[in-house]
């Protein structure tokens, strides 16, 4: 079957068929049938590029568990919701902030752009799984033909100038965060266009990407991928920062191809950090996270956040008690250099900063 446009950008096939995944990973028929049932609610999306990093025949493999539909997702759990961070309310048009529907401001000095709904995978714990499909930037970056196709689906403004007008007019904003979906599902040309555009706003000094793609499909970081030069306005001598936060949850996700991609990103001028979600049965122990963080710092990617799970309906089986998370951080602090220990945080809607779940007092 010919590859889709998204697959061509990601440079990997995306497996959506549970039978195919089961066969290739030698999963038994019970696991397969259960996955089929759960996938009716939230479909499978598994990048072929990561399949060799999964242990065949093991339904509890830490990579597979992040993407394989499970019957536990169908359980309704009190305290879990479809919009745990209240983003859909915050971002519902019309917005009092005057920001367009693809831009959110949660914290001072930074705005977050929902670039696209597309991803290279479907994480089973994704807190944006219910996010409205029409509040994204992508249609604005599309070609005229693509735009005409999508226009009816979008409630965004249709002019990039107009989208960023409020950012241009607010010099308190020094950082733009490109999120999604995954911004690296946009083509290199579209990313360059976006960086060039943002680069023309003098007070925006930093662009931060949040992405799983360099880990899942490292071949996406090719010779034509944007560099810091795409973000620097010509002849100004201005200092700017391109920052990429890698989303990575298991040390098994990092192989030699990923290592090459991270080195290449650094050569292109990206500052690399990482964020990890604390996930029961996947990384809720010191040894796993210590191995992950050692691998990352050896590649020049500094652990930034360890996130407590956002309480999205269908993901309760991944939740790890905060007491466990605190103990992990305490023990990591004894094993690793300070710069290799992330901040253990939770996002609480409406708060003007992330909530730190660990401080030294916790360890007493
Ligand atoms: S990569 Fe991020 S946005 Fe995409 S499915 Fe996973 S958690 Fe959700």
Instruction: For residue 234, count other CB atoms closer than 10 A to its CB.
Output: 9
Task: Look at residue 162 and give its three-state secondary structure.
Answer: helix
CB 176 within 8 A of CB 208: yes
Q: Are residues 65 and 135 in the same domain?
A: no
Assess whether the C-beta atom of 295 lies below 6 angstroms from ligand 1.
no
List, for residues 182-193, the tens digit of each pLDDT value. 999 999 999 999
Q: Are residues 168 and 247 in the same domain?
A: yes
Distance from Cα 232 to the centre of ligand 1, integer Å: 29
CB 284 within 8 A of CB 324: yes
Backbone angles phi, psi at 307, to 5 degrees: -95, 130
Q: Are residues 50 and 180 in the same domain?
A: no
> Which of 74, 102, 118 is where one domain is finished?
74
- Could you tell me the residue range of the domain that residue 32 belongs to? 5-74
Which atom of ligand 1 has the smallest separation from the CA of 129? 8
> Which of 17, 45, 74 is where one domain is finished?
74
List, for residues 136-145, the tens digit of each pLDDT value. 777 666 555 5
Q: Considering the domain boundaries, does residue 82 fall inside one?
A: no
With the C-alpha atoms ordered 306, 175, 123, 90, is the resulting torsion angle positive or negative?
Answer: positive
- Tokens encoding 41: 């609610």
Which atom of ligand 1 has the smallest separation from the CA of 211? 1
Q: Are residues 249 and 332 in the same domain?
A: yes
Residue 245 pLDDT exceeds 80: yes
Assess whether the C-beta atom of 128 lies below 6 angstroms from ligand 1.
yes
At 152 the pLDDT is: 46
CB 84 within 8 A of CB 310: yes
Q: Considering the domain boundaries, does residue 154 fall inside one?
A: yes
Q: Are residues 306 and 331 in the same domain?
A: yes
Q: Are residues 160 and 273 in the same domain?
A: yes
Q: Are residues 197 and 296 in the same domain?
A: yes
- How far is 103 from 167, CA to CA, in rounded Å? 10
At 153 the pLDDT is: 47
Q: Considering the domain boundaries, does residue 239 fall inside one?
A: yes
| Element spanning 215, H or E | helix 213-216
- Tokens encoding 2: 């010919």
Q: Considering the domain boundaries, does residue 81 fall inside one?
A: no
β-pair type (343-346, 301-307): parallel
Q: Considering the domain boundaries, does residue 339 fall inside one?
A: yes
- How far is 206 from 112, CA to CA, in rounded Å? 12
Q: How many domains does the chain have?
A: 2
Segment 20-30 shows an average pLDDT of 98
Assess whether the C-beta atom of 126 lies below 6 angstroms from ligand 1.
yes
Q: Are residues 63 and 179 in the same domain?
A: no
Q: Are residues 69 and 91 in the same domain?
A: no
Torsion of CA 248, 275, 136, 200, to 10 degrees: -120
> Which of 74, 97, 113 is where one domain is finished?
74
- How far is 230 from 224, CA to CA, in rounded Å? 11
Q: Considering the domain boundaries, does residue 79 fall inside one?
A: no
CATH of the domain at 181: 3.20.20.70
Inter-axis angle of helices 29-39 and 18-25, nearest 10:
150
Instruction: Report CA 189 to chain centroid distance, whole Å.
Output: 20
CB 186 within 8 A of CB 123: no
Assess whether the C-beta atom of 347 lies below 6 angstroms from ligand 1.
no
Q: Are residues 35 and 98 in the same domain?
A: no
First to last CA, the chain: 58
Task: Look at residue 354 and give its three-state secondary structure.
Answer: coil
Task: Look at residue 238 and give its three-state secondary structure.
Answer: coil
Q: Considering the domain boundaries, does residue 80 fall inside one?
A: no
Model pTM score: 0.92
Mean pLDDT over each residue of the chain, to the nearest integer:
90
List, for residues 81-97, the tens digit of each pLDDT value. 888 888 877 666 556 56
Q: Which stretches within 232-355 are classed as H helix?
A: 256-267, 286-298, 322-335
Q: Considering the domain boundaries, does residue 307 fall inside one?
A: yes
Q: Are residues 108 and 218 in the same domain?
A: yes
Q: Are residues 68 and 193 in the same domain?
A: no
């Amino acid at each position: 079957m010919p590859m889709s446009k998204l697959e061509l950008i990601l440079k990997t096939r995306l497996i959506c068929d549970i039978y195919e995944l089961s066969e290739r990973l030698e999963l038994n028929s019970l696991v397969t049938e259960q996955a089929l049932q759960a996938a009716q609610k939230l479909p499978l999306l598994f990048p072929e590029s990561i399949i060799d990093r999964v242990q065949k025949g093991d339904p509890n493999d830490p990579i597979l568990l992040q993407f394989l539909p499970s019957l536990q997702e169908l359980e309704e759990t009190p305290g879990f919701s479809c919009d745990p961070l209240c983003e859909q309310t915050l971002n519902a048009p019309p917005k009092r902030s005057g920001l367009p529907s693809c831009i959110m401001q949660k914290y001072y000095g930074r705005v977050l752009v929902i670039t696209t709904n597309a991803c290279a995978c479907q994480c089973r714990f994704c807190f944006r799984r219910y996010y409205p499909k029409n509040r994204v930037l992508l249609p604005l970056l599309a070609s005229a033909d693509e735009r005409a196709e999508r226009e009816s689906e979008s409630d965004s403004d249709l002019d990039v100038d107009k989208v960023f007008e409020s950012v241009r007019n607010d010099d308190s904003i020094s950082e733009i965060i490109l999120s999604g979906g995954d911004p690296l599902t946009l083509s290199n040309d579209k990313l360059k266009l976006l960086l060039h555009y943002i680069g023309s706003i003098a007070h925006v000094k930093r662009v931060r990407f949040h992405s799983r793609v360099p880990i899942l499909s490292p071949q996406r970081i090719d010779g034509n991928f944007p560099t810091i030069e795409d973000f620097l306005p010509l002849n100004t001598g201005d200092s700017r920062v391109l920052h990429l936060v890698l989303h990575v949850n298991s040390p098994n996700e990092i192989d030699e191809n990923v290592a090459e991609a991270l080195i290449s990103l650094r050569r292109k001028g990206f500052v690399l950090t990482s964020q990890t979600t604390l996930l029961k049965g996947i990384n809720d122990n010191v040894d796993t996270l210590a191995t992950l963080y050692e691998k990352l710092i050896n590649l020049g990617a500094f652990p930034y956040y360890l996130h407590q799970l956002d309480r999205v309906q269908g993901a309760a089986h991944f939740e790890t008690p905060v007491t466990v998370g605190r103990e992990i951080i305490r023990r990591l602090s004894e094993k690793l250099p300070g710069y290799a220990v992330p901040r253990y945080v939770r996002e609480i809607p409406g708060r003007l900063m992330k909530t730190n779940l660990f401080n030294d007092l916790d360890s007493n």
